A = this chain, B = another copy of it.
Amino acid sequence: MEDPSPWEDGVRSDLDSLFHPRSIAVIGASPDPEKMGHRYVRILQEAGFPGPIYPIHPHAPEVLGLKAYPNLLAVPGEVDYVISCIPAPNILDLVEQCARKGVRLLHSYTARFSETGHPEGARLERELLERARRAGIRILGPNCMGLYYPKRGISFKHGMPREEGPVGMLSQSGGNAVEVVFDGALRGLRFSKVVSYGNGIDVNEADLTEYFAEDPDTRVLCIYVEGAQEGRRFFQALRRAAQSKPVIVLKGGRTGAGGRAVLSHTASLAGERRLWQGIVQQAGGVWVDTLEEMVDAAVAFTFCPPTVGARVGVVGGGGGRSVASADDCEEVGLTVAPIPPEMRRAWRGVDPSLADWLGNPADGSILQGSPLSVERVLEMMADHPSFDLLIANVGEHFPMEHPDGIPRTRALVQAFIGTARRVRKPLAVVLGDTLALYPWQREVMGELRQALARAGVATFPTVRRAALALRHLITYYRRREESGHLE
C-alpha cells in the first residue's frame, strides 16, 4: 500500500540548499574563548568548513585569526548562513540585517524565548518568525545547536568526528544530540547530518523528517522529539521514511514531570506516552526509552544486515554469564535456539566429552582447553540455518588473568571480527565497559573497542542491551516485510 504523497515539492530542495552554505557568519563571535560565538568560529575551523567564516563583533578587529566585522552589513561577500549568539532582544534587528544581506538561513543559538515562560519571550519569538517569513529567511531554532554536517565541514561541538557516515539525526535537544554523536562515535557510528532544532518555530520535526526520508546519505535516522508542531505531517513523513530506512524515535516528556521539563526546555506540548508510542509504532518507527537504547539500536541498524528471524546463538563468557545471557535474550523476546542434532554430532567428532553437555549459550569456561573453542562454535552457528542472530561475549575478565590473557583476548576479538565480516547474519559482540578496574585493563579494552568499531562490528556493553537492539532490528524488518517495503 502506498500513501498519497504528502510531499511539498519545495521542502527537500529548500533545506538541502540551506544546508550547503557557501559562507557562514557568526554573530556575537567574541575574542573571549568562553563565549559561544567564539566557540562556533573555532568549531567551524576545526571541522574544516571550506568557505569564508565571518566573525561579527562590535569592536574586535579579529577573532581566531579571521578578520571580524562590526555588523553583518559590513561583510564584503555574500552570506548564506548566519549563526546568532547574541542576546534575544537583539534578534529582530539581526533579522532586518539578514534580510538586507540576502541571508537564507538564520540559525538562532540565541535562546530565552517562549521556553522561559515569560509572555515577552513568547511575543518576541512570534515576532521573529513573522519578520523572517516576510523576508523569506528560514529559521533554525531558536534555542538550539544547529547543524553538524561533517562532509561539508559544519559542526557545533568541539571534538565531534570529521568523518561522515550513514546515521542522520534530528533533535530538539543539542545536548542529547551531542550524547548520541559521542557515544555512537566511540562505537564506530559516523553521521551524515545532525540537526538540533530547539523550539522549532520554523524548520520543524515534519520538515526535517521529510528531508531525511529522502536524504541519500542517511541510511539510519534517529529522532529526539519533545513535541510536534505539525503532528499529522510528521506522522506521514515518519511513515514514509520508515519504508526505506530504520527510524529510531525517542520522545522526551513521556511523563507528567517530563512534560513540565519540556515546557521550560523547548516550550513544546509534550503529550502522552501511550498516544506517541502508538503513533510511532504504527508508522513503522522504532520506539526507544533512553538515549543509550537509541545508540544501541543505531549501532545494530548500521552494522547488521537485515533479518526477520529471532533465533539467537550465543557464545562466550562463563557459566553464570551464560545463564544470564539466556534470560536476557528470552526476556526481550528473542529465542535461544536449541543446538541442532547434526551440530552436536559434529561436536562429538571434535570433543566427545563436551558434545552432550555444551548448549546454547555455549559456556566459554566449559570450552577452555578443548579443541572445540568459542570461536569455532561461533563459526558453526554462523554457518548453520538454525540461527538467525549471533551474540559473542568477549568475557573480558575471564582470560585477562592468564599470563597470555591479552594476546588471547586480542585473538578472540579478531576471530569475532572475521566471522562478522564473512557471515550475512547480525553478529553482536559484547565487550563490557565497567569491568576495567585497572588502568592497563582500560587501555586494552579501549584498544579492542576501537578495533571492533573500525571493523564495523556492532558492539554492546551488555548482553541485555545487545539482545534488545537485535530485537528492534527484527521487529523493524518484519514490519517492513509485512508492508511490502523489503525486497
Is the pair A34, B260 in contact by a Cβ cutoff of 8 Å?
Answer: no
Is the pair B117, A289 in contact by a Cβ cutoff of 8 Å?
Answer: no
In addition to A174-B320, A175-B320, A255-B331, 14 A-B residue pairs with Cβ atoms within 8 Å of each other are A159-B401, A175-B321, A175-B395, A175-B398, A176-B321, A179-B397, A182-B437, A255-B327, A258-B324, A258-B326, A260-B336, A265-B319, A290-B324, A442-B446
A178 at the interface (CB under 8 A from B): yes
Is the pair B254, A175 in contact by a Cβ cutoff of 8 Å?
Answer: no
* Contact residue among B117, B174, B255, B401 (Cβ-Cβ distance under 8 Å from A39): B401
A115–B318 alpha-carbon span in the complex (Å):
14
Is the pair A292, B324 in contact by a Cβ cutoff of 8 Å?
Answer: no
**A379-406 interface with B by 8 A CB criterion:** 395, 397-398, 401-403
Is the pair B226, A257 in contact by a Cβ cutoff of 8 Å?
Answer: no
Residue of B nearest to A325 (CB): B261
Q: Collect the chain B residues with CB atoms within 8 Å of residue A266's CB.
A: 319
Q: Collect the chain B residues with CB atoms within 8 Å of residue A397's CB.
A: 175, 178-179, 182
A363 at the interface (CB under 8 A from B): yes
* Contact residue among B158, B224, B335, B437 (Cβ-Cβ distance under 8 Å from A401): B158
Is the pair A258, B318 in contact by a Cβ cutoff of 8 Å?
Answer: no
A436–B443 alpha-carbon span in the complex (Å):
13
Q: Collect the chain B residues with CB atoms within 8 Å of residue A292's CB.
A: 434, 462, 464
How close is A105's CB to chain B, nearest CB, in angstroms? 22
A327–B261 alpha-carbon span in the complex (Å):
9
Is the pair A173, B323 in contact by a Cβ cutoff of 8 Å?
Answer: yes
**A326-371 interface with B by 8 A CB criterion:** 326-331, 335-336, 356-361, 363, 365-366
How close is A66's CB to chain B, nearest CB, in angstroms? 19
A33 at the interface (CB under 8 A from B): yes
Residue of B nearest to A320 (CB): B173
How close is A221's CB to chain B, nearest CB, in angstroms? 17
Residue of B nearest to A266 (CB): B319
Q: Collect the chain B residues with CB atoms within 8 Å of residue A361's CB.
A: 261
A461 at the interface (CB under 8 A from B): yes
B-contact bits for A411-439, CB 8 A (1 contact / 0 none): 00000000000000000000011111111
A92 at the interface (CB under 8 A from B): no
Is the pair A257, B330 in contact by a Cβ cutoff of 8 Å?
Answer: yes
How close is A293's CB to chain B, nearest CB, in angstroms? 9
A116 at the interface (CB under 8 A from B): yes
Q: Collect the chain B residues with CB atoms within 8 Å of residue A438's CB.
A: 159
A186 at the interface (CB under 8 A from B): yes
A284 at the interface (CB under 8 A from B): no
Residue of B nearest to A253 (CB): B323
A-B contact pairs, 23 of them (CB 8 A): A33-B403, A39-B401, A116-B356, A174-B320, A175-B318, A175-B365, A175-B395, A179-B321, A179-B397, A183-B434, A183-B435, A224-B320, A252-B323, A253-B327, A255-B326, A261-B359, A264-B319, A264-B358, A264-B359, A264-B363, A266-B319, A289-B331, A290-B462
Q: Collect the chain B residues with CB atoms within 8 Å of residue A179's CB.
A: 321, 397, 432, 435
Q: Collect the chain B residues with CB atoms within 8 Å of residue A6's CB.
A: none
A179–B158 alpha-carbon span in the complex (Å):
35
A256 at the interface (CB under 8 A from B): yes
Is the pair A323, B261 in contact by a Cβ cutoff of 8 Å?
Answer: yes
A172 at the interface (CB under 8 A from B): yes
Q: Collect the chain B residues with CB atoms within 8 Å of residue A289's CB.
A: 327, 331
A15 at the interface (CB under 8 A from B): no
Q: Collect the chain B residues with CB atoms within 8 Å of residue A360's CB.
A: 257
How close is A98's CB to chain B, nearest CB, in angstroms? 25
